[in-house]
Homo-oligomer: A and B are copies of this chain.
């Protein structure tokens, strides 16, 4: 089982939610990139648990940079980013493996590994591993040319766009429930033709990487599912003066940047971890029983997934940029 993303710039995740550490090993970073420590700290804080609409787990998420950095710059060699788990509470998971939680990966990993997995908090499948993605994405910022813009925002919570969505999330939290949500990502400023053919195309590569964020259930590009209802004469974006497209045009054609911004929407399911008691099977007793999970949960995913989406998008762009020769070694 491998946990690697990318081909020319490769990020490999490691770690377990309630083990010693999580983190990422980054290969293929060009040499001479100055490390922006303040930005790294800021990025880590943006996805950190412990605040508002997030799990109460308290992690400082300090990133130890153990290789590939010399005198504050990348050397071009693999960069090991290690994040120690400090507020692990493995005892919260003593109901496993007998009472797998509904909507969680517990039972599935248990089967896959013949009982050898670390199930506590989802083990290596936990959203905690996105800390490594955010750390890796942060050091990619300075690899990408300034004119390539990556921006993600919370698009909707519980189907409600704007500030009202956050109110809905707070309601869900108070009722010990959770809510689905959406993150909207915009990538702009890519050179026309950026991206590779077929399976390494912009959308296929982003779809692969973004769908790997825990709880992602759908990904849309451009007009997304609405494209399924449109006529070609309405959907086609005409080339304007000097081959310009307007900002609502599709940002990718044939997997390559068209010149228009690439609009992406990622839908996340409501977090499976809720405090409401749920009926589910107990492998030990052979009965359907009530399970009340203590744990520390996020009532909604989008606010914390937002920086993860940005980090993943930057990693994909850095990799495709290296593959296509847009970013020098």
Complex formed: what's the CA distance from A172 to B233 in Å? 10
Residue among A20, A177, A253, A258 with max Cβ neighbours from chain B (10 Å): A253
The answer to whether A212 and B31 touch across the interface, beta carbons within 8 angstroms, is: no
Interface string of A72-113 (1 = CB under 8 A from B): 011111111010000000000000000010111101110111
The answer to whether B15 and A12 touch across the interface, beta carbons within 8 angstroms, is: no
The answer to whether B192 and A111 touch across the interface, beta carbons within 8 angstroms, is: yes
| In the complex, A167 has a CB within 8 A of chain B | no
The number of chain A residues with a CB under 8 A from chain B is 141
A-side interface residues toward B, CB under 8 Å? Answer: 1-5, 7-8, 10, 12-16, 19-23, 25, 27-28, 31-32, 66-68, 70, 73-80, 82, 100, 102-105, 107-109, 111-118, 122-125, 129, 156, 158-159, 172, 177-182, 191-194, 196-201, 203-205, 207-209, 211-212, 214, 216-243, 250, 253-258, 267-274, 276, 278-281, 283, 288, 323-325, 328-329
Complex formed: what's the CA distance from A271 to B233 in Å? 9
Could you give 25 example pairs across A and B, Cβ below 8 Å?
A: A1-B329, A8-B8, A12-B78, A14-B25, A14-B77, A14-B79, A25-B25, A31-B116, A32-B116, A70-B116, A76-B112, A76-B113, A108-B192, A158-B229, A181-B228, A201-B212, A203-B216, A217-B223, A218-B218, A218-B220, A218-B225, A218-B227, A232-B269, A233-B276, A239-B281
